[in-house]
Structures are given as C-alpha cells and as structure tokens.
Amino acid sequence: MSQFIDPERAQFEAFKALDRDQPIEMLNLVKFRQKAAYPAEHALAGADLTGAQAYANYGRDTGPIIARLGASIVWRGSWQTTLIGPADEVWDEMFIARYPTAHAFLEMVTDPDYHKAVVHRQAAVETSRLIRTSPADGGATFG
C-alpha cells in the first residue's frame, strides 16, 4: 500500500481552487502504523504508542478545533471487507467529517493548535485517503 499521509502541493491547490463558500464533506480512510513514528524532537519520540493510540491523541487535540469551526463527524464505520477495489486497502478508521464551508476546513489546517496536533496524525498513519465531496440528499436509488 502506498503512503499517502499529507496532501501533495498540486492536490492542495486543486482543493483551494474549488468553491470555498459551500458545505463540504471529507471522506477519511485511514490505516494505522503498527507503532507510532514521532519525529525525534517530539516529546513522544520513542514512546511505545501504537498508531491507533497516536491517532486517538490527534482526535483528542483536534476535537475542540473542529467544534469551534462548526464541523462534526457525521458518519463513522468499521471496515469489514473490500468487495470492489484493491485487496490490500484495509482501513482502520473510516469517517465523514462535515464542514460548514471549505473556508472552515482551511481555517482548521492553518490553525496553530492544529499544527501542534497534526504531528499525532503523521506519527499514526501508514497511509490514508482524504476525499472532498459536496453534500447531497440521500434517497431510495443509486442514481
């Protein structure tokens, strides 16, 4: 499985080029490292934390930020099996975060407290997918 932990510059620029004045939902698919990998200068470097434990620290530290911005987790699920797709893509954490606007998401990722918290995510994650979507109504059909 390829490592995708942080966005590449071109991907982030494409995100910023889209309409920022509408609600967005971010599909998060996350696979944890067996052991968290903190940078040497971080206080938790060398700590015996699993990726899941480091990600829990990320959730704890970002919770107040997303609440302040009016964002929330609107769906969370547990991986069971892949019916269509690469067999090696097994996800430990899957959820959809809803933000009132793309501006709110951008405010989050530039917040100084978020910068302190994101080190936990970077230490925790082996690979991930983060997919921006626009909210749509549900219904009785696929189309």
pLDDT tens column, 11-70: 999 999 999 999 999 999 999 999 999 999 999 888 899 999 999 999 999 999 999 999
What is the predicted pLDDT for the residue at 1?
Answer: 55
Please give the Cα distance from 108 to 82 (Å, whole number). 31
Compare 34 and 3 and report the one with higher pLDDT.
Answer: 34
Pick the CATH number of 9-133 from 3.90.1580.10, 3.30.70.100, 3.30.70.380, 3.40.50.150: 3.30.70.100
Q: What is the pairing mode between strands 24-32 and 125-133?
A: antiparallel
Whether 2 has a pLDDT exceeding 70, the answer reads: no
Global pTM value: 0.91
CB-based contacts of 143, cutoff 8 Å, min separation 6: none
What is the predicted pLDDT for the residue at 142?
Answer: 83
Strand partners, 27: 96, 131
Residues 115-130 as b or e (16 or more Cβ within 10 Å = b): eebbbbbbbbbbbbeb
Strand partners, 99: 24
What is the predicted pLDDT for the residue at 46?
Answer: 84
pLDDT tens, 99-134?
999 999 999 999 999 999 999 999 999 999 999 999
Q: For residue 91, give the nearest of 27, 47, 36 by alpha carbon.
A: 27
